[in-house]
Structures are given as structure tokens and as C-alpha cells.
Amino acid sequence: MTARRDAESTWLVGYVVLGDGGAEAGALREALKGRLPRYMIPSQLVVLDALPLKSNGKVDRGRLPAPDPIREPSRPVRPFTAVEREVADLWRRVLKVEQIGPDDDFFALGGHSLHATRLLAALRRAFRVDLPMAAFYEEATVAGIARTLIAHQPEAGHVERAARALARLRSMTPPQASQALERRNEGVKTL
């Protein structure tokens, strides 16, 4: 396993040599899920015929091939709920991925612990709900995070109201949004 970097991000890539009759990369990923914490599971697995070795027998990391670009997830198979839509919007910004479905896994999309920290801070600002990092690792899908936000909300309906307010803010022009936030801060309910 090695960390790969580009201009904006770092992600884990696993390199594996499958023996005769070896399992497929998908089966290997499933086996890793039972043995490693989610954040340690590589975003991508690259299957090789043999690992490139140095003369001393160690893996020559410089000769490991670059993985294929991280796939864009499939289109959602069901519509987002209001809360999921806002969570997905935050994911798009943090992960810089355009298409996200409600059941796509954060770590499979290239997310890592630093991204998770940024996302938790963004969720806290947007929804006013403080999620523990452990909850994030347990539910690393858009739908799972939406359920976790609702489970940790301070009062019934809080997260749904915040999602509706965020959607209304996004539909406003910047001056309208600024005025609405100023009125809200002054105690006038506009959102």
C-alpha cells in the first residue's frame, strides 16, 4: 500500500499480486473491510503480475504504476432526501467529485481522514450538529451521514429545518443571502 498524491489530494492505493486462482480485487476489498478500519482501506486496488523490486529485494515504489483515475460514482438510483442533498453538496466540495449518489462510500471516492475532518467541520457549521469521528467511520455514505445527523440532532426536526434553510440560501443571489443572514442574526425569521 502506498499514498498517491496529486495537486489537490492524497489517497491510499493498494498494489496486489494475485496468485493462481486468486480472488478478484473486489473480493479482496471486502476481506479488508473485515480486518482494517475504513480509513485504512485503499481507495483503489491495482492488480499486478509482479511487484517491481529493487536489487535489495524491496519494493521499488517509484516503478509502481499510477492507478486509473478514481471513478465517478454512478447516478443516484433514488432521489436524495433534503438532508442527503445538503450532505452530498458538502461532499462534492470536499472531495471535488461532481456525481455522488446517496449510497456511495466516502473512502471509495478517494476520501481520507483529513477530508473526513474537513467534512465534519463543514457539517457542524451547516447543521449545528457535532458528530464524533467514530460515527463518520461507521456510516461513510451520504445516506448514512444524513441518518447520523438526524440521530444526533439536539431536537426533533432540527436537521431537516437546517437542510431546508440551506437549500433556500443556495437559491438566493449573494446579496439576498447576505440580507437574509443579517435579518436572521437580528432575530427576524426569514429562512
Question: What local confidence, expressed as pLDDT, does residue 76 receive?
Answer: 45
Domain co-membership, 141 together with 49 = no
Domain co-membership, 26 together with 98 = no
Q: Evaluate whether residue 30 is within a structural domain.
A: yes
Residue 184 vs residues 9, 100, 171, 177, 189: alpha-carbon distances, Å: 36, 31, 17, 10, 6
Question: What local confidence, expressed as pLDDT, does residue 176 receive?
Answer: 84
Average pLDDT, the chain: 81
Q: Evaluate whether residue 161 is within a structural domain.
A: yes
Domain co-membership, 89 together with 181 = yes
Q: Evaluate whether residue 77 is within a structural domain.
A: no
Domain co-membership, 121 together with 176 = yes
Q: Evaluate whether residue 132 is within a structural domain.
A: yes
Q: Evaluate whether residue 48 is within a structural domain.
A: yes
Domain co-membership, 56 together with 101 = no
Question: What local confidence, expressed as pLDDT, does residue 67 receive?
Answer: 77
Q: Evaluate whether residue 72 is within a structural domain.
A: no
Domain co-membership, 89 together with 150 = yes
| Boundaries of domain holding 138 | 82-185
Which backbone phi and psi does 113 adopt, to 5 degrees?
A: -60, -35
Cα–Cα distance for residue pair 10/46, rounded to 1 Å: 16
Contact in structure between 189 and 167 (CB atoms under 8 Å): no
The string of pLDDT tens digits covering residues 117-128 is 999 999 999 999
Q: Evaluate whether residue 68 is within a structural domain.
A: no
Q: What percent of the chain has pLDDT over 70?
A: 84
Q: Evaluate whether residue 51 is within a structural domain.
A: yes
CATH number at residue 102: 1.10.1200.10
The string of pLDDT tens digits covering residues 49-97 is 888 899 998 989 888 888 776 554 444 467 889 999 999 999 999 988 8
- The predicted model gives 147-176 an average pLDDT of 89
State the pTM of this model.
Answer: 0.61
Contact in structure between 172 and 165 (CB atoms under 8 Å): no
Contact in structure between 41 and 107 (CB atoms under 8 Å): yes
Domain co-membership, 99 together with 178 = yes
Helix (H) or strand (E) holding 178: helix 174-185
Which three cell numbers, joined as nine digits, stand for 119? 467534512
Residue 36 gets the label, from left (phi > 0), alpha (psi -120 to 50) or beta, of beta
pLDDT at 19 over 60: yes
Domain co-membership, 86 together with 56 = no
Domain co-membership, 86 together with 53 = no
CATH number at residue 29: 3.30.300.30
Cα–Cα distance for residue pair 61/64, rounded to 1 Å: 5
User: Per the structure, how many domains does the chain have?
Assistant: 2
